[in-house]
Structure formats: structure tokens, C-alpha cells
Structure 1
Amino acid sequence: MRPLRNPVIQTLMANLLAVWMRFCVATIRWTHENENVAEQVWADGGPVICAFWHSRISLTPACWPQERAQKVRAIVSLSPDGQFIARAMDKVGFPSIRGSSANKDKADRAKGGTAALRDALRQLKTAGVAVTPDGPRGPMRQMGDGVAVMAKLSGAPVLFIGLSCNPAVRLGSWDRAVLPLPFGRGAIVWDLDRYPEGLSTDEATARWTERLTAVEARADELTGLERI
């Protein structure tokens, strides 16, 4: 990923990725399951926390109809590689909140996480926040406590989004990221929950890890994409 730390290359690659994402989303035949819960969120137009696993970032434009859904900002890592993701996400309609609490042993990352949480809570007063709770470096499908903390402090519902497509290219990254190919099959599966009263953030995180994994697994089942 080191070439992506060059600003010129970052901009070029981010633009290409955004164009590719839009092209694939437009040509894939999508199946939607439990969409009614998302429709209600869009109709309400208020705060919401959108969660999907890091490996499915390239499919996110398919799950959020910009013309009728509330505005959403995506939390993206402060790492140099995260800048590339932030540029690409901004191009497809998800401006970023920069920061990550994933690496608690590094002071700069901890400060970034604090700032990101503050900005996210401000955003959640009126609109939405998108989170990849196993990012920026994993482990794969292991949720950090950020989603539970945001949900508890803001009172916003959490929309779990399972995304899949087939055929797709699996990258060699830590999360085996899915890069879509056009004219295939796609699936989006939704689930919704609020912070469970009486549970600790650790308990809520464990519960929500299972629910997010379940919707992604169901989406993979619908498309026939091999689970890794």
C-alpha cells in the first residue's frame, strides 16, 4: 500500500476506484432482504449508525440511496492508507470523519479516536455515521467497542448491513477485501437494533458482532460468494 501514500497517486487511484464502484453498483443485479427496516430509517431521516465489515467497503454505494436517505459520514482511519479510502468514499457520497480507536497503544491514534468519537456524536444529532467496526487493521470480523459506545451515548439505532456480490475479486489484504466485478449478482441484507438496556458495552459488542456477521453471511448465501 506504500505507493498509495503519494498524494498524486492517491487522488488518481481514488478517482478510479470511485468510478469502478459506481459502474459495478449500476450493473449488478441486486437482491434486497429485510429492506423494510432500512426504509423506515430513511423515512425517519434522523440519526443512525451504519455498520458493515471492512471487507465490503467497495460495495457501500449500493446500500445508501443518496437521493432519499439522510446524509452519512464515514469514520476512516488516520493512517496514510486511510487517506486513500477517505478520498474514494468522498467521491461516492460518504464524506469522512478521520480517526480510529483501533490501536490503543499509540497516543496519536488514541487522540484521533477521541476526536472521531466527538465528531461522530455531533453528526449523530441530526444524521448518520458509517462505521467498519473491524477496521482499520482487524482482526477480521472482530468488532471494536466504538459502535456500542456511540450507540449508548447518542441513543441512535444501529443498522447492520450485509453486502455481497458474485463474481468478485478477493484482494490479499488482511480482511480479504471484496472488489466487485460488473454484471454479476449482488445482495444487501439489513438488521436493526438499539443499545440493549442493561448490557455492558462489551456484551453489546459481542451481541452485535454476531448480528453483523449473520447479515453478511446471509448476503453471501444469496449471491453464492465463498465465505472466507
Structure 2
Amino acid sequence: MWRRIRTNRGVQIALGTTFAYYFKMVAHTSRFVVEPADIYEKIEDNLPLIMTFWHGQHFLTPFVMKPHHKAKVLISRHADAEINAIAAEKLGVGTIRGSGSTSPRDFHRKGGVSATYAMIDTLAEGINVAMTADVPKIARRVGKGVIVIARHSGRPIFPIAMATSNRITLKSWDKASLNLPFSRGAAVAGEPMWVARDLDEAGMEAARLELQHRLETITARAEALVGRPALGNLGEAQR
């Protein structure tokens, strides 16, 4: 029955719209600290860019960008993700549908190839893209997807971490945070990261590990700013 309900288009639109208005309320009732202080100047100097963040921290990321920053976010084709896609579009963020996989066969089936080309084309059009960094179903372990996009597009990766003092940690594989209103919030960005086009496999792995380090560092900083302990590397615990 739940499957029939969640795949009903009317229900999806209602839930997606409700989530969009809810997170607008959270953003507007919370006091956010943004670091570094010159992050928006750095963004303006590096447009278009690839914004990446841990899965589960994505609900408030549309509020990081300025209104004039056009962006599209990568969202899977799964039925449950349709609600996220509707919410993103209600918040003014375009969508690219597809997801990665550790299996080459599943990568094609889930639309990973077409999504990769779409993100590269979107950046070529001068529009930012946003995507989670994690390996599918392995939280907080960076996959190669974002590295591949940066390598072939020639655009920089901006790692972003967001946290709020009041939140509910969901019982999902990514330990997603349901942010609550009237919180102290933090948005922390790492330095822009460029990936050379001519990297070999060893270089790609080094870039992946560097992005892993940067995301872990800024996540710990965001949690500290809102007075909460860092969650640690959930991916390492699940491997």
C-alpha cells in the first residue's frame, strides 16, 4: 500500500511542496554562520562550479546559493526521490535525474551515464551543478563521480557542509538530518578544488582522498559551530 501511495503523482506533489515550504521555514527561522567570510566572493570568481556535500546534509543546501546563482541538482530516478525532485524545483533548483553505482551494470541502469553527460553539459552552459559526494549506500565515503565530473568539465569542486543545532537524525543508511526550526546553523565551505584532465587512476584516487579529507574537515567545523559533536566517518564504519 505504501508503494502505491508514494508513487501516486498527486501525493508526490503534495509531499514535495510541503517539504519545500517546511525547509524555507527552517532556513528563515534559523541563525546561520557562514564560513569563510569571503565565500561568496570566491564563488563569484569560480562560476560555474560543482557544489558537493554529504548525503543527508542536502535539505538546506538550496539556501546556500544566492538567488542569481542558477543550479541543477543530481537526484536519483528512484520513486522516493521524486518527492525530493519536486521539493528542489519548488525551491528554484533544477534537477538532473540519475545516480551512480559501484556496479557498472547498475550505473547504466540507474541513469549514471546520461546524468554524467547532462552535468557536464549543464556546466558548459554556465549553470552550477550540485551532487552528493558519497558512494551510493555508503555514507561519508567519497565516490569517484564528482571527481569525474570535475575532470571532464574543467570546473572546480566546492565542498560544503551544513549543520543545525536542532535536528532529528533519521534511521536511514545516510543518517540524514531532519533540520528543525529556530536553530543555530552553520554553512562551511572548503577551498575550491580543481581536477586536472590528464590524471591517471592513481591521480584520481588521490583527488578522491583529498576531497574526502576536505569534507571531513569542514563537517567537523560546521558541527563545532552549532555546538554538536562530529558524527565521524560513517562510511569507514560501514565498509
The TM-score with structure 2 as length reference comes to 0.86
The separation in 1 between residues aligned to 2:53 and 2:91, in whole angstroms, is 16
Q: Describe how 1:1-228 pairs up with structure 2 within 5 A.
A: 2=3, 3-41=5-43, 43-44=44-45, 46-66=47-67, 68=68, 70-107=69-106, 109-110=108-109, 112-125=111-124, 126-134=126-134, 137-191=136-190, 192-195=192-195, 200-228=203-231
Alignment: residue pair count: 224
Percentage of matched positions with identical amino acids: 30
CA distance in 1, matches of 2:103, 2:226: 37
Task: Tell me, in whole angstroms, the C-alpha distance in 2 between the residues paired with 1:201 and 1:110.
Answer: 24
> 1:227: Cα distance to partner?
3.1
Cα distance in 2 between the residues matched to 1:22 and 1:146: 29
Indicate the SS of the match to 1:172: coil
Residues 224 and 109 (structure 1 numbering): CA distance in 2 closer, same or farther, change over 3 Å? farther
Cα RMSD (Å): 2.0
8 Å contact 2:101–2:107 — kept in the other structure?
no
Counterpart code for 2:20: A
* Cα separation, 2, equivalents of 1:202 and 1:108: 19
- Any idea what SS the aligned residue of 2:61 has? helix
Q: For residue 106 of structure 1, report the CA deviation from its aligned partner.
A: 3.9
What SS does the corresponding residue of 2:189 show, helix, strand or coil?
Answer: strand
Q: What's the CA shift string for 1:112-144, capped at 9, x where partnerless?
A: 111001110001111210011216x42110111
Once the two structures are TM-superposed, the CA of residue 159 in structure 1 deviates from its matched residue by 0.6
Q: Give the deviation of 1:104 after TM superposition.
A: 2.2
CA offset at residue 154 of structure 1?
A: 0.9
Choose 55-64 or 119-128, whichever is displaced more: 55-64
How far did 1:183 drift? 1.1
* CA distance 1:227–1:19, change in 2 (3 Å): same
Report if the CA contact (8 A) 1:99-1:109 is conserved.
Answer: no
Cα offset, 1:111, TM superposition: 6.0
Q: Contact 2:167–2:179 (CA<8 Å) still a contact in 1?
A: yes
What is the alpha-carbon distance in structure 2 between the residues aligned to residue 5 and residue 48 of structure 1?
A: 33
For residues 141 and 113 of structure 1, what CA distance do their matches in structure 2 show?
20
Question: Which runs of 4 or more aligned residues in structure 1 lie more than 6 Å from their structure 2 counterparts after TM superposition?
Answer: none
Q: CA deviation at 1:45?
A: 6.6
**Paired AA for residue 52 in structure 1:** F
Question: Given the superposition, is the C-alpha separation of residues 149 and 47 from structure 1 closer, same or farther in structure 2, using an over 3 Å criterion?
Answer: same
CA deviations on 1:47-86 (whole Å, 9 max, x unpaired) are 20000111111111321122x3x21100111111221211
**d(CA) in 2 for partners of 1:206, 1:101:** 18
Structure 2: any 5+ residue segments left out of the alignment?
232-239
The one-letter code of the counterpart of 2:186 is: A
> Are the aligned partners of 1:100 and 1:109 in contact in 2 as well (CA < 8 Å)?
no
TM-score, length of structure 1 as denominator length: 0.90
Where does the alignment leave 5 or more consecutive residues of structure 1 unmatched?
none
Task: For residue 80 of structure 1, give the secondary structure of its aligned residue in structure 2.
Answer: coil
User: Displacement, 1:17?
Assistant: 0.6
Residue 194 of structure 2 aligns with an amino acid whose one-letter code is: R
